[in-house]
Every structure is written in structure tokens, then in C-alpha cells.
Amino acid sequence: MERIPILKMGSFLLVTIQVDMHDQLALTLQDDLTSRIVRDRASGVLIDISALDIVDSFIGRMLGNIAGMSRVLDAETVVVGMQPSVAITLVELGLTLPGIRTALNVDRGMELLSASKGEAGGDGRQDG
Amino acid sequence: MGKTRLPEIIAHHEKDLLNEWMQRQNEFLRRDRISEPQSRANSHDFLRALSEALSRNAGMDLARNEWTNMRELLADISRQRAIQGFTPSETATFVFSFKKPLFARIGIEYADDKQGLADEIWTATELLDKLGLYTAEVFLKTREEVVLRQQQEMLELSTPVVELWHGVLALPLIGTLDSARTQIVMQNLLEAIVARGSDLAIIDITGVPTVDTLVAQHLLKTVAAARLMGAECIISGIRPQIAQTIIHLGVDLSGVLTKATLADAFQLALKRKNLTVSRS
Amino acid sequence: MVVKTVELPLAQQEDVVVVRQSTRSLAVEIGLTIVDQTKIVTAASELARNTVVHGGGGKVRLEILKEASKQGLRLTFEDSGPGIPDIDRAMQDGYTSAGGLGLGVGGSKRLCTDFSIESQVGVGTRVTIARWKG
């Protein structure tokens, strides 16, 4: 079964989505991530969607689920690299990805995660 | 096209045809825009292309292969003249003015054959009408392409995205915004945000006299899209009249950062990045 | 006038990916802007998934249309599934619908130039969307 690779970067996990996912792959990713957060005691998850040229409601829900699950496991999630046309389409669709933090790229994402690790409340740059 | 002797007629009388045609063209066409040698060359090429197509039994359908050379020639001439400032009628007249000399020659060749004369004249006029109209069509298309290109250039010139500081972009909008232009401008901004890795963008509308609902909505959508991408937008330069219009329209700016001037917006941007300006 | 037609099955999730890719390539073919491409591909993804997950499987027909000087891309999704009992409500439902049917259909409408939906309980559903260039 194909899986999307999850990399460990210090105390964070990095997922780079590069394939056109079908639903099962997305569900598998959610499961894998949950296990890894626990196994690696990760405090943050970075999801790089710069290669995704569409984000539909299913993927939106997947991202929301991952953010929710991570939070329960005491890890923060940041989604990075959203393409402009994807952002515009989501706005038109009315999908605001509530509870999901975003950053322009992996570097910024890591800065965001590091910053919120140090503060209890975090920087609060949340969407929705 | 029935039996036609146009190819022979043209070949036989070529020199005279060309001269008379040039004479007629000189009456119609503007000498200041085009040189005689150029007209003559165009006319000569036209006759050549016409003879060639007719001798290959091209028929009346200009879309056929046999007319390709003629179509390309007319397209070139037309484009040239469009750029030189001719009107579509003037350009089509290039073709139409060939009728009189041609008909005169047809008259000579069919002196004893009234029916043949009538048929040949009809064939000639039908053909030249089509060629003339084709010229006018190409002309109009060329003009459209020029206008489109100019619009594009103006759009790019008038909406540059400026990097004020590392990670801070500014988009000073000037002039009236229509829905189409706003969309393009906003897309450019979002792409610049990605390209330069800037998570702060100031959209300054000081130079925009009025804002309607559609434009206001596009602005808001852009701010929302930027936020989804991980960047923040500040809208600055909202004049009192625009502020009133926006309230009237019921547009909800509550989630958007706004500042009266670009300078204030820049200050806010620096603060957000924990930067200060100090005297050296 | 239809100048090109592609028919694709929608039986399993992998088919949704194929439909996305096909839609993208046809959208590129008629010269839609990147944003417009993304919009119709996203709508196609939503509706394709609905057909597979809620419609019990079906098919989609992609067509390139040409009218005077305009070009458009039209997709027709068909299934013989349970049908939608209350279409108006389905179109309005936001994210509240856990199955995603609401957001998919209502949101998709916003992303397209043309949109129409017919559904009969116990018979099936047909959704047609289109985006025109320009």
C-alpha cells in the first residue's frame, strides 16, 4: 500500500504531499501521523501542500482532522505552501479551514511552531 | 466557378493592369502613409498570387489550400497597413480598386460574347469582393490584438508590487478599479507573496477614487486568501468617501487590518516584525 | 456545439483522481486561467466524490463546447443512487453535513459559471457544471 512519507525534523514532523491523493491515501496519512506523533513525542506537525493544485472539502477536512488530532496529542499543526489559486478557490468555496494555522513555507512554519512551543497561548495567528 | 479565362486575361494584360491599378490606388490611398514602391510591390504580389491560385482551379472557397499564399499575402499587407494607420476600408479598397482595370480588360477579351462577358464579370466581382472582405477581417483582428496587448502592458505598468522591506510588500493601486482588473491585480499580489516569501502585504488604495461592491469584495477575498496562505494584509489609504461607501454597501471590514495612510501601515508592519527605525 | 467528449467511470475513489486530472487537462486545453482551472477541477473533485460515495457509483461526461467565439468545459455527473430528497437544503448545507454532500454541491455551484442539478429519490442524480472562458 502506498503511503505518504513522514520525516522527523527535531521535535517536529514534516509531511510533504506530492501526489494527487485518493481518499484512502488521505485516511492512511491521518492514521500514520497520529501514530508517529505519539511514537516520536512530536510537538509540532508541518504539512507542506505546495505541490497540491487543488484542495477540496475532503482534503480540507483531512487537514482539519490532523490539526484536531494533533492538538489532542499536544502538538501544533501548521499547513504551509498553499498555492494562490487554491487559496482563492477556497475563499470562493467558503472553506476557511478553521483551527488550522498556515505559513508561507517550511521555514516560516518552523518559526511559527518554535514560537508557539515557547508560549502557552501561541502567537494566535489562526485562521477562521 | 464556371469556366473562367481570368488567368490568361491577367497574364496577357499584366503590365497594363498593374499600371492602371496603381493609378487608381494613388487616387484613393494616402501617400503620406505608404510609399509608391511598397504599393507597387504589394500589387505585383497580389497579381502573382491571384494568377497562381486561379490557374490551379482554386474556385471561390478561400479556405482551400490553393488560396493559402493569397491569404498569407493579404494578411501581411493588411497587418502592415493597420500598423501604418490605414482604416479597414482603405485597406480593403486596395483590392476593390482592381476591379475597374480588370473589368476593362475582360470587356476587351469578351467583345463578341455577351453571355461570356456577363459570366466573367460576375466571377471576377465575386472573387474580388471575397478577397477584399478577407482583408478587412484580418485588419480588424490585428487591431484587436494590438489593443489587447496595450491593455496588458498598461495593466502591468500600473500595478507594480513593491518590496518595502524584507518580508513586507506594498501594492499601491492607482486609478479606477474594475472587477476584471482588480482580480488580476490581486492574483499578482498573491503570487508575489509566494515568490518573495513575504508574509505581510500592504494594499494601498490612496490613488483609487471610488470603490464599488465588486471591488470591495475582491479586496476582502484577497485578504482572506492571503490569510489562508499564511500572510497578513493591511489595507491603507482609505479615504473618507470610500469609508462611507463601504459602510453603505454593508461590506464587513471587521476582520481586516486597516490604516489611514501607507506610512501608518508601514509602521504597523515594522512593529509586527519586531523592527524599529532608529537614528544612526 | 460539442467538439470533444470524454466519458469516465466513477466506481471507486481512484476514479476521482482520474477525473481531476482529466478535467485539469481539458481546462488547460481550452485556455482557462489558472484560477479558473483550479475552480472547475475542485468542483469536479467534489462532485465526483459525491457520485462515488453517496451515489453508489456512476459516470461523468466531460465535454469541450464551442459557441461562436466562446469556449467552455462542461461536466455531467450521473448516478443511479438514492437521490437527494431535499435539493435546496443540500445546496445550502455548510460544513455541518458530515458526509460533505452539502458543501460539495452548494460550494461547487459557486465555483462554476453554469450549474444545474436534477435528482429523484430512488432513481438517481444528475449534476451538470460548466465554466466558460472569459
pLDDT in tens, A20-72: 888 888 899 999 999 999 999 999 999 999 999 999 888 888 999 999 999 99
Specify the CATH architecture of the domain B162-272.
2-Layer Sandwich (3.30)
Chain B residues in contact with A125 by the CB 8 A cut-off are: 230, 232
With a pLDDT cut of 90, the percent of chain B lying above it is 38
Size of interface A-C (CB pairs under 8 A): 66
pLDDT, average across residues C95-112 = 62
Predicted pLDDT at C101? 38
Please answer yes or no on whether A88 and B221 come within 8 Å at the CB atom.
yes
- Classified as helix, coil or strand, B235 is strand
- Classified as helix, coil or strand, C76 is strand
d(CA B128, CA B60): 10
Task: Count how many domains chain C has.
Answer: 1
Residue among A85, A92, A127 minimizing CB distance to B227: A127
Answer whether residue B201 shows pLDDT above 80: yes
d(CA C41, CA A89): 10
Chain C residues in contact with A92 by the CB 8 A cut-off are: 39, 110-111
Q: Answer whether A94's CB lies under 8 Å from C107's CB.
A: yes
First to last CA, chain C: 17
Answer whether residue B96 shows pLDDT above 90: yes
Amino acid at the residue B193: I
- Classified as helix, coil or strand, C121 is coil
CA dihedral sign of residues B74, B76, B81, B83? positive
- Classified as helix, coil or strand, C65 is strand
d(CA A32, CA B152): 48
**Nearest in space to B218 (alpha carbons), one of B267, B271, B181, B171:** B181
Query: Which CATH number characterizes residue C66's domain?
Result: 3.30.565.10
What phi and psi values does residue A64 have, to the nearest 5 degrees? -65, -40
d(CA B140, CA C7): 39
Q: Which domains occur in chain A, in start order?
A: 6-118 (3.30.750.24)
pLDDT band at residue A1 using 50, 70 and 90 as cut-offs: low
pLDDT, average across residues B231-259 = 85
* pLDDT 10s digits, B21-78: 998 888 876 667 778 888 889 999 999 999 989 888 888 888 888 899 999 999 999 8
d(CA A88, CA A85): 5
Nearest CA in chain A to B191: A84
| C-alpha C54 chain-centroid distance | 14
Answer whether residue B14 shows pLDDT above 50: yes
Residue among B191, B228, B232 minimizing CB distance to A91: B228
Buried b (16+ CB within 10 A) or exposed e, A74-109: ebbbbbbbbbbbbbbbbbbbebbbeebbbbbbbebb
Average pLDDT score, chain A: 87
Helices (runs of H) and strands (runs of E) counted in chain A: 4, 5
Q: How many CA atoms lie within 13 A of A82 on its CB side?
A: 32
For the domain spanning B6-150, the CATH number is 1.10.490
CA dihedral sign of residues B173, B177, B181, B184? positive
Give the other-Cβ count within 10 Å of B24's Cβ: 17
* pLDDT 10s digits, C59-82: 999 999 998 778 999 999 999 988
Out of A102-111, C86-95, C114-123, least confident range = C86-95
Answer whether residue C94 shows pLDDT above 60: no
Chain A residues in contact with C104 by the CB 8 A cut-off are: 56-57
Answer whether residue C93 shows pLDDT above 80: no
Buried b (16+ CB within 10 A) or exposed e, B160-182: ebeebeebbbbbbbeeebeeebb
Out of B106-115, C87-96, C101-110, C122-131, least confident range = C87-96
pTM: 0.69
Predicted pLDDT at C23? 97
Answer whether residue B234 shows pLDDT above 70: yes
Residue among B194, B225, B231 minimizing CB distance to A91: B225
Q: Chain A interface, mutation test: which of B229, B272, B273, most A Cβ atoms within 10 Å?
A: B229
Predicted pLDDT at B81? 86
With a pLDDT cut of 70, the percent of chain B lying above it is 97
Residues spanned by CATH 1.10.490 within chain B?
Answer: 6-150
pLDDT, average across residues C26-49 = 93
Domain residue limits at C66: 2-132
Predicted pLDDT at C96? 42
With a pLDDT cut of 90, the percent of chain A lying above it is 62
Predicted pLDDT at C8? 96
Answer whether residue B230 shows pLDDT above 60: yes
Q: Answer whether B185's CB lies under 8 Å from B216's CB.
A: no
Q: Which chains touch B (3 or more CB pairs under 8 A)?
A: A
Chain A residues in contact with C41 by the CB 8 A cut-off are: 53-54
* pLDDT 10s digits, B131-161: 999 999 888 888 888 788 887 777 666 678 8
pLDDT, average across residues C5-15 = 93
Please answer yes or no on whether C39 and A89 come within 8 Å at the CB atom.
yes
